[in-house]
Structure 1
Amino acid sequence: MQLPGTTLLVIDDDDSVRQNIGKHLETCGFDVLQAGNAQQGLDLFTSQRPELVLCDLHMSDISGFELVRQITDRAPETPVIVISADSVMTDVVEALRVGASDYLIKPLKDMRVLEHAVRRSLDRARLRLENQRIRERLEQANRELENHLKVLKDDQAAGHQVQLNMLPPSPWQSGAYLCEHRIFPSLYLSGDFVDYFRVSDTQVAFYLADVSGHGSSSAFVTVLLKFMSTRLLYEQRRQESEGPIHFKPSDVLGHINRSLISCKLGKHVTMLGGVIDETSGTLTYSIGGHLPLPVLYSEGKASYLPGKGRPVGLFEDAEYEDHELKLPECFTLMLCSDGVLDCIEGTTLREKEARLPELMEQADGGMQNLLKLLGMDRKTAMPDDISVLLLSRNP
């Protein structure tokens, strides 16, 4: 069925042929303009811009080839069908070369051939136009996407730099204690975070956090964790300006739990945190739903520290417990995110967890040896954010 308002232009200096063509096309539902010579046809084309042109290939004033060339130069999207009494193949090739969409031979004994050629050329032209519009829309969408990706990459680069600046130096030596960490993000930004710092002249604090999810939203929570822990330490120092500071890990987890819930970010955190009192040689630690548990390595043996607790940022009534442990003279304490378990061979989680202290023993408590045993010394994509924190004392 022909779309209403489709206008055709017939250019032919043979009046009877032109009129017969025009009359038949009008009965097919087209609006038809007629021109008795090439110049009149060009004028009508310029003023009316028909959807399709039919023209004789041999006219007295302008060559049909030149007419086709001028029309296609002005409107490349407009199909032109040439009609000629000659069936010379070179004329056909030349007509198509200069821009004709089809070629018909006079006399047109079967007008259905003409109608079919017109409809086919119109369909092709509309398809080309639609393809061009789609291509333009896709190109525009690609440009916008590239701009958005650039902004996103710039933002992620800035976020990555912020995270790096927040992390403590590694390795970090303070008195008899050595701390070092490694973080391997699954994406550009990590939802894992570690920190260690002096609480007082005789206290060292540390924690490892694993934020739910991945990417920017999880990385943002690590910034909050750094801010909250720093703010707590600052407030405590204001109250206790001298000597050891009352800095209980369970209080820290409780404060972060309440803060995350009030922020309504839809994120929760599993955490391990502790404070070492150098005077008494004791470790006080608290666990917020984190697995695997801390691993203590000393005298060639490694084992998990006991403890449990709810994830941080999920339950308003969550309570956290402090555990106290007398530390050996020489030891290495390992904290890691659950992404480490993905690097350990085993068919079940229990098997993998049982294997982790064994790997710590094989590594002799050393970071590089441990990463090598876990296969994390190679630059490969990780399925999850992975973080490892080692705190050791070897007088």
Structure 2
Amino acid sequence: MQGAKLLIGVIDEPGEARDALTETIARDGLAVYAAESAEALPPETVMIVAHSRAVPPNEWPRLAERLPTLVVSEDRQDADLFQAVDAGMVDYVVEPLRHGHLLRRMIRRVIEVRRLAAERERDRARLTELNESLETHLAMLRLDQQAGGQIQRKLLPAHPQTVNGVTCDYWLAPSLYLSGDFLDFQRFDDRYTLFYFADVSGHGASSAFVTVLLKYLFNRWQTEWDGNDPEALPGRWLAALNRELLDTGIGKHATLFLGVIDRRHRYLHYSLGAPLPKPLLDVEGKVYSLTGEGMPVGLFPGVEYPQLGCELPTNFRLWLCSDGILECLPGETLDRRLRELERRVQVSNTLADFKNSLELGRVADDDEVDSVEDASGHEELPDDLTIMMLSGFSNDQP
């Protein structure tokens, strides 16, 4: 038993009474050392049993601070016993020789409490060490995430920019440092402009890695395109991307909208992979969703994506939003939120107008790096939020 390995110090005046007290405590294997004062006890003593007659009244506080101490006395009305208890002794026993079994149980209880307290202190020290290590690792992870966010933003196109008579502007705010939302807007030649808008499932590092893959694949496919059959290009690229994501086996999928703007005919060729909400086209104050249906990219093999298109008038605004926008709109149902989105698009002439209508406060005002870097601002965004607006061709001279 653990108590048999621990030393109990007895403080009492020498004599038969002390010997009897020592013998009473030593039963059941407890180790005991008797002395006249605390200074005479061995350093390995773990607790003290002190008789009230053997300790001066002014010594009780110092004794209580040194080690856990039980007080014993022959008289319940002993004034020294009261002073000892008032000084902070852990407990007391009256007539210890008569109640030896109780005394030993109390000693073992004090030893166990002391052991548990020591364990708690060790656990507290270990927890403090682990917390410091965790804080260090979190700080390193935060720095890595911030660096990754900087790199991800470098992959985004400049904005606002005008290509072939169409102006692109956007705002991207990740709920964390990295985003699962991504977009691109590039000139192919004097006639065609290519763009896409992607929302990768989830958010954070794993989703951000997929956006880097998207950037690489679309750049590669763009260099391989010969400029023919623009109407088939969006669907073909989405099908190829679907195969690529399935082959990676990473369990990520994305919703996408991919478009080719034909400047000569002022026409939009597009295909879609289940974007929510659908892109909204604003023409002279009338807003409607682009038609068509398509499966998410990266979920099912062998999916074919539709070839779709629509004419673009002289003045148009095409709005694309990630599904994070739905968290920022009022309405109890999805249908009501989509109608609210159409209403706000209808009354917004610029991207800034639309952002202001969302009333996102500090998050919406952070335009310095086009995304939120301060973690304190992320609390207002439950999901990544990206808004992209294309407008033209009012001042275009082909």
Relative to the length of structure 1, the TM-score reads 0.82
Q: Could you tell me which residue of structure 2 aligns to residue 25 of structure 1?
A: 25
Instruction: Check if 1:307 corresponds to 2:292.
Output: yes
SS in 1 for 2:268: strand
Following the alignment from structure 1 to structure 2, what is the Cα–Cα distance between the partners of residues 186 and 336?
A: 15
For residue 131 of structure 1, report the CA deviation from its aligned partner.
2.1
Compute the displacement of 1:32 (Å). 2.4
Which of 230, 239, 248 is 1:263 aligned to? 248
Give me the identity figure in percent.
36
Structure 2 gaps, min length 5: 364-378
SS of structure 1 residue aligned to 2:177: coil
Q: Do structure 1's residue 368 and structure 2's residue 360 form an aligned pair? A: no
TM-score with structure 2 setting the length:
0.82
Distance 1:37 1:347 in 2: 80
Residues in 1 aligned to 2:40 and 2:198: alpha-carbon distance in whole angstroms: 79
Kept after mapping to 1: 8 A contact 2:191/2:263: yes
Partner of 2:178: 189
Provide the rounded CA distance (Å) in 2 between the counterparts of 1:206 and 1:319. Answer: 20
In the TM superposition, what is the alpha-carbon distance from 1:4 to its structure 2 partner? 4.9
Contact 2:71/2:81 (8 A) holds in 1 = no
Partner of 2:330: 345
Alpha-carbon distance in 2 for matches of 1:187, 1:325: 36
If asked which structure has higher relative contact order (CA below 8 Å, sep 6+), I would say 2
- 2:7, 2:82 → 1: CA distance? 30
* 1:83 CA drift (Å): 5.5
1:72-102 alpha-carbon deviations (Å, 9 max, x no partner): 6xxx6x5234567873479637964xxx645
Partner of residue 357, structure 1: 342
Which stretch shifts more, 339-348 or 31-40? 31-40
* Correspondences of 1:61-100 after superposition (within 5 Å): 78-81=67-70, 87-88=79-80, 92=84, 96=88
Query: Does the 8 A contact of 1:2 with 1:30 survive in 2?
Result: no
Structure 2 partner of 1:386: 385
Aligned length: 374
- Displacement of 1:270 in angstroms is 0.3
Amino acid of the structure 1 residue aligned with 2:273: G
8 A contact 1:172–1:179 mirrored in 2: yes
2:306 is aligned to 321
User: 1:9 corresponds to which residue?
Assistant: 9
Matching residue of 2:375 = none
Partner in structure 2 of residue 202 of structure 1 = 191
State the superposition RMSD in angstroms.
3.2
Query: Cα distance, 1:20 vs. partner?
Result: 0.9
Specify the code of the residue in structure 2 equivalent to 1:344: L
- Alpha-carbon distance in structure 2 between the residues aligned to 1:341 and 1:56: 76
Shift of 1:128: 1.7
Aligned counterpart, 1:162: 151
What SS is found at the alignment partner of 2:79? coil
Q: Which moved more, 1:118-127 or 1:269-278?
A: 118-127
Q: Secondary structure at the match of 2:184?
A: strand
Distance 2:72 2:330 in 1: 77
What code does the residue aligned with 1:327 have?
A: L
Aligned-residue offset at 1:257:
0.9
CA 1:245–1:161: 2 relative to 1, 3 Å: farther
